[in-house]
Amino acid sequence: MGGMPVDSRYGQQFKKGALELVLLCLIARGETYGYEILTALDRQGGRIFGGAREGSVYPVLYRLEETGLISSRIRAEGGRSRKYYAITPAGQAALTERTAFWRSFSQCVDGFLQDEEDAR
Amino acid sequence: MREQYLRAVRRLLPRKVRQAVVRDLEERFDAAADHGESEADVIARLGTPEEFAAPFREGWTPALWPPLLLAGLGLLVSAACGLGLWLQAQLGGEDVGVIGGADGPTRIYVTSGGVSPLWLLLALGLALLAAGVLWLRRRGLQR
């Protein structure tokens, strides 16, 4: 699977849009915290989101919280604090909606690409 | 390394998100320690303080009116004290005579002893003015 590197400007724009959806999806699985989220991205993200850095992830988490799609609470654990994120009902609804959008979006684009491939 | 990085980031962040972001970074460094990651490793991932803080600064320009207000206040106080001290000098003394010869007579005034509190207030005014200007300069550079 060669081709365009995911760090190109084109790839970056795509990743930004999808990262919100991916994070919402991860948090919907169950209450989680920053480091766990980064680890999950590393583990499952492959070439796209594997190694996604704090600089990309944290701002998206803030935006999700600001718009009420996730909530956070801070637990003090032995001299340190850890912030736990959970999905809200609004977030659950948004996840369903955006997943549906993603599916129809990619189906549509696939359709065009398939026609193109068939034509060759 | 960690404290230096956190200090640098803190200075760049808008006040609204400052506390939350720094707390999150501290949590990240703590997690690193737990998993055998070095502070240098984390900093390499985070990027420079400028790179890390950049997304939080998007669409934010630090307001100039607070430092301008402080400098203005300092200027006002300094000017008022300066005027007060000048007036005091004009009106305060009791002329008790002249000493010295024809080539350089000196008039002697006697005023009440001690340092006028206006000097103290002038010093305060100048300090406020200086603080305001430095703050203004910092904010100006941040834009």
What are A41-90's pLDDT values in tens digits?
988 888 788 878 898 999 999 999 999 999 999 999 888 899 999 999 99
Whether A87 contacts A23, CB under 8 Å: no
Residue A1 lies in a domain: no
Higher pLDDT: A7 or B2? It is B2
> What does the pLDDT average to over B107-125?
79
Q: How confident is the model at residue A8 (pLDDT cuts 50, 70, 90)?
A: confident
Q: How confident is the model at residue B109 (pLDDT cuts 50, 70, 90)?
A: low
pLDDT averaged over every residue in chain A: 89
**What is residue A78's predicted lDDT score, i.e. its pLDDT?**
81
Angle at A42 between CA B42 and CA B58, to 5 degrees: 60
Higher pLDDT: B92 or A118? It is A118
Query: What is the domain count for chain A?
Result: 1
Higher pLDDT: A46 or A100? It is A100
Residue A4 lies in a domain: no
Residue A2 lies in a domain: no
Output the DSSP codes for A7-28. TSHHHHHHHHHHHHHHHHHHHH
Render pLDDT for B13-43 as a digit per residue (tens, 0 to 9).
998 899 999 999 999 999 998 999 999 999 9
- Can you tell me the distance from the alpha carbon of B74 to that of B89, in angstroms, rounded to the nearest whole number? 22
Q: Reply yes or no on whether the pLDDT at A100 is more than 60.
A: yes
Residues of A with Cβ-Cβ distance to B53 under 8 angstroms: none
Whether A64 contacts A20, CB under 8 Å: yes
Minimum distance, in Å, between the CA of residue B2 and any CA atom of chain A = 15
> What does the pLDDT average to over B49-77?
90
- Can you give the CATH number for the domain in which A23 is found? 1.10.10.10
Q: How confident is the model at residue A5 (pLDDT cuts 50, 70, 90)?
A: low
Q: What is the ipTM of this complex?
A: 0.82
- Can you tell me the distance from the alpha carbon of A41 to that of A61, in angstroms, rounded to the nearest whole number? 14
Burial letters B57-68, b for 16+ CB under 10 A, else e: eeeeeeeeeebe
Q: How confident is the model at residue B90 (pLDDT cuts 50, 70, 90)?
A: confident
Structure token pair of residue B69: 């207000």
Q: Reply yes or no on whether the pLDDT at A1 is more than 50.
A: no
Structure token pair of residue A102: 């993603």
Residue A29 lies in a domain: yes
Residue A50 lies in a domain: yes
Q: List C-alpha distances in Å: B34 to A28, A29, A40, A62, B108.
A: 26, 24, 17, 24, 77
Q: Reply yes or no on whether the pLDDT at B87 is more than 70.
A: yes
Residue A99 lies in a domain: yes
Task: Name the residue range of residue A67's domain.
Answer: 9-119
Residues of A with Cβ-Cβ distance to B31 under 8 angstroms: 34-35
Residues on chain A bordering chain B, Cβ-to-Cβ distance under 8 angstroms: 33-35, 53-55, 58-59, 62, 74, 80-83
Structure token pair of residue A28: 């919907």
Residues of A with Cβ-Cβ distance to B28 under 8 angstroms: 34-35, 54
**Cα–Cα nearest to B26, from B15, B10, B50:** B10
